[in-house]
């Protein structure tokens, strides 16, 4: 397989940094640098560690080095009629698999086919001590040892430097279509809940600017009968809409203001923020612009039984980026972090001050 094995250099660099207690800032293509708290550290560049290590379409599994771009992976998958089931946002042409998994972000398909962590089967990583370890594997069912692979997803590199990832794939749907219904926010939320309970092949439910968009993915017959059941009108620009939603290229996202990500139960009420709110994930994800303070927003999300993230912020923003953890859970985070990275050199402080 083409690519470049840069593992020796990476391991050596982490070992040296561990010895010197020198903080590292793990770097793929840098497409998602805006996430998390600002951190300092010497750059550990993983993007040279590239290549698809194995890909057997009939196994529905792909293993690639962390620096492999999503572009390369998508190309290989498309040739075999398969997809990454969690529809990851790239946020940059050169987004890497490692960064994607470390950030743990999932696209519009997430409520219907699963999240980034749901699809991760195994990882290799370098711990903070500079030890290269392998967790999980390449098989769907695997209960040997703790599920460290999935623990790493969304840990923002603070537990280990991901160097290789095995990921489960899905067959590409035969056909995809998007329907539109004109509704107010509350009716749209109710409709999303209703549709989610039906055995029809939904792969996206989003609401913005007074339009509920319903994406269906499946067989030609399956989609036709579902579409007849739902009604509404075809959105010829459907594919473009979902791509721009996933990549935050819709005009909604084009604002110089803090972008809040509210992850809430689908039953969270309509926020009636008009064009300051965009709904994805069938109601479970609300992108919001607001003049409220960060503390007010974190509290607001907590009251909705969800949590909030300062997803994009201007450089002057000094506050926390993620909802705070309770005392016992925060302590567990500290101890887990220290078990993988005793010197605290890996992306330390990126999530919270203690991890």
Is residue 200 near another protein by the rule CB under 8 A? Answer: yes
Q: Give the count of beta carbons closer than 10 Å to the beta carbon of residue 335.
A: 10
Cα–chain-centroid distance for residue 193? 23
Number of residues forming the site for another protein (CB under 8 A): 87
Is residue 111 near another protein by the rule CB under 8 A? Answer: yes
Is residue 171 near another protein by the rule CB under 8 A? Answer: yes
Q: Could you say which of 42, 221, 233, 257 contacts another protein (CB under 8 A)? A: 221
For the segment 13-32, give every residue that binds another protein (CB under 8 A): none
Residue with tokens 């993983």: 46
Is residue 147 near another protein by the rule CB under 8 A? Answer: yes
Smallest gap from residue 144 Cβ to another protein (A): 5
Q: Which is nearer to another protein, 94 or 172 (CB)?
A: 172
Is residue 36 near another protein by the rule CB under 8 A? Answer: no
DSSP 268-316: SPP---GGGEEEEGGGTEEEE--SS-HHHHHHHHHHTTSEEEEEE--TT
Please tell me what DSSP assigns to residue 144. S
Is residue 205 near another protein by the rule CB under 8 A? Answer: no
Q: Are strands 175-182 and 24-27 parallel, antiparallel or unpaired?
A: unpaired
Is residue 265 near another protein by the rule CB under 8 A? Answer: yes
Smallest gap from residue 252 Cβ to another protein (A): 20
Contact 165, 123 (CB under 8 A): yes
Residue with tokens 């990583």: 125
For the segment 282-301, give every residue that binds another protein (CB under 8 A): 284-285
For the segment 226-245, give every residue that binds another protein (CB under 8 A): 226
Smallest gap from residue 310 Cβ to another protein (A): 12
- For CA atoms 152, 157, 160, 164, the dihedral sign is positive
Residue with tokens 């220290």: 338
Is residue 133 near another protein by the rule CB under 8 A? Answer: yes
CA distances from 50 to 16, 89, 141 (A): 22, 20, 27
Is residue 170 near another protein by the rule CB under 8 A? Answer: yes
Q: Could you say which of 211, 243, 325, 343 contacts another protein (CB under 8 A)? A: 325
Is residue 263 near another protein by the rule CB under 8 A? Answer: yes
Q: Could you say which of 58, 254, 315, 318 contacts another protein (CB under 8 A)? A: 58
Smallest gap from residue 67 Cβ to another protein (A): 21
Nearest to 55 by CA among 28, 29, 82: 82
Q: Which is nearer to another protein, 45 or 147 (CB)?
A: 147
CA distances from 116 to 127, 201, 241, 330 (A): 21, 20, 21, 23
Is residue 74 near another protein by the rule CB under 8 A? Answer: no
Q: Which is nearer to another protein, 41 or 104 (CB)?
A: 104
């Amino acid at each position: 397989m083409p690519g470049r094995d840069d593992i020796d250099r990476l391991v050596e660099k982490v070992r040296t940094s561990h010895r010197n207690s020198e903080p590292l800032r793990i770097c793929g293509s840098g497409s998602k640098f805006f996430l998390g708290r600002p951190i300092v550290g010497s750059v550990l560049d993983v993007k040279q560690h590239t290549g698809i290590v194995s890909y057997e379409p009939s196994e529905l599994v792909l293993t690639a080095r962390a620096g492999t771009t999503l572009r390369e992976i998508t190309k290989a998958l498309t040739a075999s009629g398969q997809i990454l089931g969690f529809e990851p946002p790239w946020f940059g042409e050169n987004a890497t698999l490692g960064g994607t998994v470390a950030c743990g972000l999932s696209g519009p398909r997430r409520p219907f086919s699963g999240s980034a962590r749901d699809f991760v089967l195994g990882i290799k990583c370098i711990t903070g001590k500079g030890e290269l370890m392998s967790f999980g594997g390449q098989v769907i069912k695997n209960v040997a040892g703790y599920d460290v692979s999935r623990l790493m997803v969304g840990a923002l590199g603070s537990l280990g430097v991901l160097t290789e990832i095995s990921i489960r794939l899905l067959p590409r749907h035969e056909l995809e279509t998007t329907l539109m219904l004109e509704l107010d926010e509350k009716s749209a939320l109710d409709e999303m809940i209703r549709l989610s309970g039906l055995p029809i092949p939904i792969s996206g439910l989003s609401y913005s600017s007074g339009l509920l968009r319903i994406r269906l993915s499946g067989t030609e017959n399956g989609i036709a009968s579902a579409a007849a059941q739902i009604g509404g009108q075809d959105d010829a620009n459907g594919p473009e809409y979902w791509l721009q939603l996933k990549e935050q290229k819709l005009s909604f996202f084009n604002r110089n203001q803090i972008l809040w990500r509210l992850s809430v139960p689908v039953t969270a009420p309509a926020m009636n923020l008009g064009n300051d709110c965009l709904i994805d994930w069938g109601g479970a994800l609300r992108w919001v612009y607001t003049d409220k303070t960060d503390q007010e927003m974190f509290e607001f999300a907590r009251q909705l039984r969800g949590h909030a993230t300062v997803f994009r912020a201007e450089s002057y923003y000094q506050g926390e980026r993620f909802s705070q953890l309770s005392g016992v859970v925060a302590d567990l985070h500290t101890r887990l972090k220290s078990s993988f990275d005793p010197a605290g050199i890996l992306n330390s402080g990126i999530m919270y001050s203690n991890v």
